Structure 1
Amino acid sequence: MDEKKKKPIAQYAFIGLIVASIACLSTGLLGLTKGLVAMQMFAPQNPDILNLALQISAGVLVVGLAAYAFMAPDKVRRFFSGRQARYGSNSLILTVAFIGIVFVANYIVYQNPKSWDLTEDKSHTLAPETLQALATLPDNVTAIAFFSANLDTTNANQVLSDFKANSTGKFDYSFIDPDRDPVSARAAGVTGDGKIMLTMGDRKEIASSASETELTKTLIRLINPDARVVYFLEGHGESSIEAGSETSYSIAASTLQSKNYTVNTLNLLVTNQIPEDALSIIIAGPQKPLSSAEVSLLQKYVDAGGSLFVMENPLILTEFGDSPDPLASYLEKDWGISLNNDIIVDLSTQQPLNAVSVAYSSAHPITQNLSANYSVILPQARSVGMAETPVTNVELMPLILTADNSWGETALGPDGAAEYNDGVDFKGPLNMAVAGENTNTKGRVVVFGNSLFAIDQNFDAYGNGNIFINSVDWAAEQENLLNITPRTPITRSFEAPSPIALVIILIGSIIVLPGLVVFAGISAWLARRKRG
C-alpha cells in the first residue's frame, strides 16, 4: 500500500529536476558574470540586482534538488550507491578540474597581457621614439577619442591599443561621440571630429589625428609642457577677445586656453616690438589698415620663423576706403597670396553672401579632418588668390573652396544686386583660405578672406571653430618636436592560378580528398569484418 501511495508523487519528480537544471544553468551564467565583474572586465549598471539574482538562482537550485530527492528517494539512493555514481563522480571531478585549469589560465593571461606583432611589415610595432615616450611616463595618461558615427574608429582603436599594450599599465583610452555628448567635447576644448585628448593629472593636450606621430608629439608636449603664447593684434578696430558682444572672439580665446595656450593681445603701435614668446600673431578683422611700420615688424618676425594668421574682410565691410593696405601688399609680394577686392556670391546656398566650403585639402593638417558634415561658412567673405608663378621657397596650398556656381563680385549694385560679369568678376570655384610655408625661413601664414566666421555668434557653426583652432595649431606648431619615419607597407596581391592549376585544385578538393576518406573508411570496415 505504501509503494502505491508513493508512485503518484514520484511521477512528478522530474519537474524538480528540470527546475534544478535551469537554475544550475542560470547560476553558472550569473556566477561567470560575477567573475567578470570581479576582474573588472564588465561593469553592470546595478550590481545589487546581479547579487540578488545569483542568490535567488542558487536558492531555486537547492529547492529543486531537494524536491526531486523528496519525491523520488529510491532513485537518489540508487544513484549514490551504484556503479553509475562511481563513474559519474570521476567524470565530474575531471570536468571541474578542466574548467578550473581553463579559468586560472585565462585569469593569469588577463592579469599579464602580452601581444606579439606577427605582421610581415611590423605595422603594429611602435617606433623607438614612441616606446621611449611611453617608458618615461611619470604618471597615468588617459586618452579620450572624440569620434562621431561618421568616422571609422578602426585605425584609431588599433593605434591606441598599441599605445596601451606598450605602456606598462600607464595608458588607457575610451571613445566619446561629440555629436551625442557635445558638453564633454566643449569642456575638453575639442572642436571638430577625430580629435584625441590626452590627460595626465591636471594637464591635458589635444592630438589633431589618430596617427602614431601626432599622438607621440602630443604625449611629449604633455610630459614636457612648454609655454605656448599667441597674440591677437589690436589697435585697428578689431573685435575684442573678451566676452561682451556677438562679434567678440571670447569663445575662440577660451577654446585656445583650454588647449594650454596663453592668449594675449598685442598693440604694435604702442609696444613697437613683437614679444619673443609669440608663436603666432592673429590679425582678426582690422577695420583700418595696418601701418607700414607694423607690417615691417611682422615681416621680420615671420622671416625669423614666426607665423601670421590673417583674417581680412571685404573692403566694403571695413573703413579702409582708398587707403593702401600694406599687409595685403606684403602677403602678395613675399608670399604670392592676394586678398581680392571682391565679395563672394555663392548660389549653392539660400543666402548667396554666405560662402560655404564644398571642397577642401585632405592633405593639409588644417583641413585633413574636415568632411561634408563639417562645412565651413564664411559670411560676407572675399576670395583669396594664389600667384600663378610661385614665390621662391614658398609652398602654398588652398584650404577650402566654394562651389562652381559662385563668383567674386567686384561691384555690387546700389541695392546689393549681384550679377556675374565675365572678365570683371572672379569665376568660381574660389579659394576661401590659403596656407603657406617658407621652406627656408620656416615662417608660416594662414590667410582667410573673412573674420566673422570665428566670432562668438558663428564659432560653433558646422566646422568654423574646428578650422580656426586647426589654423592656430598649425601656425604655432613646433615641427621639429618629433619626426617618426613612416613605414612603407608591404603590398600584397592575389595572382589567379592558371586554368590547368584550377582543374587540379578542383579535382583534388572534390574527388581525391573525399575519395581517400571513403577508401580509408571502407578499408577499416573490411579489416574489422575479417577479424570477425
Structure 2
Amino acid sequence: MIGLIVALVACIASGLIGFANLLGAIGMFPLPENIQAGVNLALQISVALLIVSLAVAAILNPDSVRRFLTGRQARYGSNSLILTIAFVGILIAVNYIVYKNTDLLGSPYDLTEDKSNTLAKETIQILGELKEPVTATAFYATNSNTTSAEELLEKFENNSDGKFTYKFVNPDLDPVSARAAGVTGDGKIQLQMGETKEIANFATETELARALLRLISPGARAVYFLQGHGEVSLESAELALSVAKSTLEAKNYTVGTLNLLTTREIPEDALAIIVAGPQKPVSADEVELLKEYVDNGGSLVVLEDPLFFTEFGDAEDPLADYLAEEWGITLNKDVIIDGSNPQNPYAAVSLRYNDHPITQGLTDSLIVIMPQARSLTISGEKENVTSTGLISTAENSWSRPNANVSENPNFNSETDTQGPLYMAVAGENSATKGRVVVVGNSLFAIDGNFDVYGNGNFFINSVDWAAEQTDILSLSTRPSTPRTFLPPTENWRFLLLVLAMVIVIPGMVVFFGVSAWFARRKRG
C-alpha cells in the first residue's frame, strides 16, 4: 500500500514537472539555465521514484497487481487515460500555435479588427528584399522592460523568411559589446548586415524599417557642425558633443566641422548644418551663406542658449533675426524657470509633445530636460512656411527676461511670462524644401546629458529630420480601434453577472454530474 501511495505522488510530480519542461521546450515559458537544471534533476528523481515504487508494490503484492491489470477497472481506466492524454495534447498544441501567433507554415496571422499585430505592407516588402542575413542586437539594461521590443523584433523575424534574427544584450553586464557597437544609453538596436551597421534609436516599426532601408541602401550622409563662435566642441572636453558625434557616426553619418569665416563656402554634400551653442553671434555674412544654402533645400539645426549664459552681450544676433524674419521663429531673450522641478528650477522639463517625426518615441517617461533654456515663440505666418512647436514646458513654468535672471526664481507677474512655453520649434518651407530646427538650449546634448531620459533621442531625431532621413519611408497607417471593457454600473446587472459566473455555470456542472451519477446508479 505504501509503495502505491509513493508511486501516486511520484506520478503526479513527474506529470507536473514534465508539463513545465514541455512548456519550456516549446518556448512558451523558457526557464533560466540554473533553474532548468534543477527542474531536470527533479524530473529524473520523480521518474526513478515512480519506477522503484511500482516495482516494490508489484514484488510485495503480485496478486493485486495481476487483478488490476486484467480487471474491468483497468479497461475503463485505460480508455479514460487515452482520452485525457489526447485532450491535454490538443490543449498544448492550440496554446503553442496561439502563443507563436503563426500558422503551421510559419506565417503570422492576426485576428484583430484593425490588424494591430501585423506589420505594415511597406515593412514586409523591405524584409522581403533582404539579400543577406540581418542580425539585430537590442541593448536593454537590467531594469528595462523588453516586452514590446521583443514582440516587435519577433514580428520582423517571422516575416523575413529566415533573413532577420535578433538577440538582446545587457550593456550593464556586457559594456564591451555596447561600446563596440557605438551604443550609449538604453533601448537602442544595432542592425548588422555583413560589415554594414545601422542604429535604430528606439523600438518602433517605423524606426526599425528606416534603419533597414539605410542598411540596404547605404549612401553618403554628411552633416557639419559650425565652428568659430565658441560652439560646443565635438571632441572630449568639459563641455563636448563627442557622444552625439559618435552616435551620428554609428548611424553612418559623416560628421565634419565647418568654419564659414575662413572657407566662405558650404560643402555640396551637406545634408544639414548644426549650430550648437555659439558663445558669440554668427556674423551677418555667414548668415547670408546659410540663408542661401537653406533656400536651395538645405537644413539648419540651431541650438542657442539664453543670452545671459553667453558672451553675446548687447550685440545683434543676425542668426536669430534671420529665423524670426524668414521662418517666424523667435528666440526670446529670456530664461525658462520650471516650477515643476523645484530642486533645479532652471532645468526645463518637457511635458507636452506635438505630433511630429522629431518627437516620435518621446513619452511622459522619456522626457527631455534642458538646463538653462530659453523660450521660443512662433510669431506669425510666413509664406510657404509651416512651423510646429515640438516640445513645451508645463503650465507651472515661466520665462524671465535676462535682465532679471539674478532675482528670486519665484514667479513675478510683473516681469515673467506664464507657461507653457515652447523649448523647440521645427519649420519647413514647401517651396524651397528648406528646413530648420530651433532649440533654445545646447547643454541637453552634451556628453553628460545626452543619455539622460530622451535627450539623445530628441537630438538625433532633429538631425535625422533636418537631413530628411525620416522621409525615406512613410508607413501606411491603420486607425486603431479602442477596445475598453466597461463593467456594468447598475447594481442589478453586476449582480446578474456575479450570479451567472459564480452560481449558475458551476451549478449546471454540478447538476449534470449528479444526474449522470444517479442514472448510472439506477442502471446498477
Q: 1:342 aligns to what?
A: 334
2: distance between equivalents of 1:105 and 1:458?
Answer: 49
Deviation at 1:309, TM superposition (A): 1.2
Aligned mate of 1:133, from 116, 126, 129: 126
CA distance in 2 between partners of 1:426 and 1:100 (Å):
69
Greater mean alpha carbon deviation, residues 337-346 or residues 348-357: 348-357
Letter in 2 for 1:25: I
Contact 1:191 1:469 survives alignment (8 Å):
no
CA distance in 2, matches of 1:421, 1:442: 42
Q: Is the 8 A contact 1:191 1:465 kept in 2?
A: no
Of the two, which has the highest radius of gyration? 1
Aligned to 1:171: 164
Counterpart mapping for 1:97-136 below 5 A: 112-136=105-129
- Asked if structure 2 preserves the Cα contact closer than 8 Å seen for 1:147 and 1:195, the reply is no
Secondary structure at 1:366 match in 2: helix
How many aligned residue pairs are there?
A: 499
Instruction: Give 3-state SS (helix, strand or coil) of 1:205's partner.
Output: strand
Q: 1:329 aligns with which of 301, 321, 325?
A: 321
Which residue of the partner structure matches residue 53 of structure 2? 64
* 1:242 shift after superposition: 0.9
Change (3 A) 1:27 1:318: same
| Aligned partner of 1:417 among 397, 407, 413 | 407
The corresponding residue for 1:240 is 233
The answer to whether the Cα contact below 8 Å between 2:139 and 2:178 also exists between their aligned partners in 1 is: no
Aligned mates of 1:104, 1:348 — CA distance in 2: 53
Alignment of 1:489-504 (within 5 A): none
Deviation of 1:304 after TM superposition, in Å, equals: 2.3
Are residues 302 and 216 of structure 1, via their aligned partners in 2, closer, same or farther at CA, if it must alter by over 3 Å?
A: same
Deviation at 1:69, TM superposition (A): 1.4
The TM-score with structure 1 as length reference comes to 0.77
Distance 2:480 2:261 in 1: 54
Rounded to whole Å, the distance in 1 between the matches of 2:374 and 2:259 is 25
1:75 Cα shift? Answer: 0.9
Q: 2:290, 2:225 → 1: CA distance?
A: 13
1:452 is displaced (CA, Å) by: 2.2
CA contact (8 A) 2:398 2:416 kept: no
For residues 96 and 425 of structure 1, what CA distance do their matches in structure 2 show? 76
* Partner of residue 446, structure 2: 455
**Displacement, 1:247?**
1.0
Q: In structure 2, do the counterparts of structure 1 residues 492 and 83 end up closer, same or farther at CA, with 3 Å as the change threshold?
A: closer
Distance in 2 separating the partners of 1:94 and 1:425:
79
- The answer to whether residue 263 in structure 2 is matched with residue 274 in structure 1 is no
C-alpha RMSD of matched pairs (Å): 4.6
Matched with 1:432 is 423
**Normalization by structure 2: what TM-score?**
0.78
1:117 counterpart SS class: coil
Q: Distance in 1 between matches of 2:297 and 2:253?
A: 19
Q: Cα deviation per residue 1:216-265 (whole Å; 9 max; x = unaligned)?
A: 2222122222232222111222232111x221222222232233333222
Percent identity between the two aligned chains: 56
Distance 1:162 1:378, change over 3 A: closer
Equivalent residue of 1:458, what SS?
Answer: helix
The 1-side partners of 2:226 and 2:214 are apart by 26
Structure 2 distance, partners of 1:148, 1:220, is: 30
Per-residue deviation at 1:80? Answer: 3.9
Q: Which amino acid aligns with 2:61?
A: A
User: Could you say what secondary structure the match of 2:229 adopts?
Assistant: coil
Equivalent residue for 1:366? 358
Q: Distance in 1 between matches of 2:299 and 2:359?
A: 18
Q: Determine which of 291, 301, 304 is the counterpart of 1:309.
A: 301
184-193 or 402-411, which moves further after superposition? 184-193
2:358 counterpart SS class: coil
Judge conservation of contact 1:147–1:175 (CA < 8 Å) in 2.
Answer: no
Match of 1:215 in 2: 208
Stretches of structure 1 lacking an aligned partner (at least 5 in a row): 1-13, 495-501, 525-532
CA 1:418–1:489 in structure 2 vs 1: closer, same or farther (change >3 Å)?
A: closer
Q: Which stretch shows the higher mean deviation, 279-288 or 322-331?
A: 322-331
Structure 1: how far apart are the matches of 2:80 and 2:484?
51
